[in-house]
Amino acid sequence: MKNLFSTRNWNRVFLYLLFICSTFSIAGTEASIAVLYLITLIRWIWNRPLTQLENPFLWVTLFFIATTVLSGLFNSYETDHLMALRSNWRLLLPLLLAGILTEVNSEQLLWTFFGFVFLISVYGIIQYFTGADWLRPEGEELTTPYLFGSSEGNNVYHAKGNFSHHLTYGGFLLLSFPLLVSLTFCKDWYPLTRILTALIAIFVLLGIGASLGRSIWLGTAAVFAILMYRISPKLILAISIAIIAAATYFFTQLGNAPIQNRVPTNRLEALQQRFISGFILRSNQDRILMWETGISAIKDHFWLGIGYNNNSVVMPKYRKRISESTGHRFHNKEALGVHNIYLQTWVNYGFFGMLGYLGILVIFFLQTTRAILRTNNFTFENSILWAGISGVCGFMVAGLFENNFRDGEVQAMLLILMGLCFNQIQKLKGRIFKS
What is the chain's mean pLDDT, rounded? 87
Pairing mode of beta strands 156-157, 145-147: antiparallel
Q: Say if residue 13's pLDDT is above 70.
A: yes
What pLDDT is stored for residue 141 in this prediction? 85
273 vs 314: which has the higher pLDDT: 314
**Identity (one letter) of the amino acid at 204?**
V
Alpha helix (H) ranges present in 131-212?
166-184, 191-211
Q: What is the pLDDT of residues 328-367, one digit of tens each?
A: 888 888 888 899 999 999 999 999 999 999 999 999 999 9
Q: Say if residue 5's pLDDT is above 80.
A: no
Mean pLDDT on 19-27: 96
What pLDDT is stored for residue 434 in this prediction? 45
Q: Which residues contact 408 (CB under 8 A, 6 or more apart)?
A: 26, 29, 30, 87, 90
β partners of residue 156? 147
**Identity (one letter) of the amino acid at 181?**
V
Q: What percent of the chain has pLDDT over 90?
A: 62
Q: Minimal CA–CA distance to 253: which of 275, 235, 237, 283?
A: 275
pLDDT classification of 310: cutoffs 50, 70, 90: confident
> H or E stretch including 145?
strand 145-147
What pLDDT is stored for residue 253 in this prediction? 58
**Identity (one letter) of the amino acid at 175?**
L
Q: Where are the domains of the chain?
A: 53-104+285-435, 115-280
What is the DSSP track for 291-337? HHHHHHHHHHSTTT-S-TT-HHHHHHHHHHHHHHHH----SS-GGGT
Q: Which residues contact 135 (CB under 8 A, 6 or more apart)?
A: 24, 162
Q: Minimal CA–CA distance to 208: which of 168, 156, 153?
A: 168
Q: Say if residue 435's pLDDT is above 50.
A: no
pLDDT classification of 49: cutoffs 50, 70, 90: low
**Identity (one letter) of the amino acid at 100?**
I
Give yes or no for a contact between 269 and 259, defined as CB atoms under 8 angstroms apart. Answer: yes
318 vs 48: which has the higher pLDDT: 318
Question: From residue 294, how far is each of 107, 140, 277, 354, 406 by CA, in Å?
Answer: 43, 34, 23, 13, 16
Highest mean pLDDT among 154-158, 261-265, 407-411: 407-411
Q: Say if residue 432's pLDDT is above 60.
A: no
What pLDDT is stored for residue 99 in this prediction? 86
Mean pLDDT on 313-326: 91
pLDDT classification of 87: cutoffs 50, 70, 90: confident
What pLDDT is stored for residue 392 in this prediction? 98
Q: Say if residue 316's pLDDT is above 80.
A: yes
What is the C-alpha to C-alpha distance for residues 362 and 310, in angstroms, rounded to an integer?
Answer: 27
Q: Say if residue 150's pLDDT is above 50.
A: no
What pLDDT is stored for residue 149 in this prediction? 55
Mean pLDDT on 8-18: 93
Give yes or no for a contact between 390 and 227, defined as CB atoms under 8 angstroms apart. Answer: yes
CA neighbours within 13 Å on the CB side: how many for 409?
25
pLDDT classification of 1: cutoffs 50, 70, 90: very low
Q: What is the pLDDT of residues 197-254, one digit of tens each?
A: 999 999 999 999 999 999 999 999 999 999 999 988 777 777 777 777 766 666 665 5
pLDDT classification of 258: cutoffs 50, 70, 90: low
- E strands within 54-97? none
What pLDDT is stored for residue 336 in this prediction? 83
Mean pLDDT on 385-389: 98
Q: Minimal CA–CA distance to 353: which of 96, 15, 62, 43?
A: 62
Mean pLDDT on 20-31: 96
Q: Say if residue 427's pLDDT is above 90.
A: no
Give yes or no for a contact between 65 and 93, defined as CB atoms under 8 angstroms apart. Answer: no
Q: What percent of the chain has pLDDT over 70?
A: 86
Give yes or no for a contact between 147 and 212, defined as CB atoms under 8 angstroms apart. Answer: no
What pLDDT is stored for residue 152 in this prediction? 57
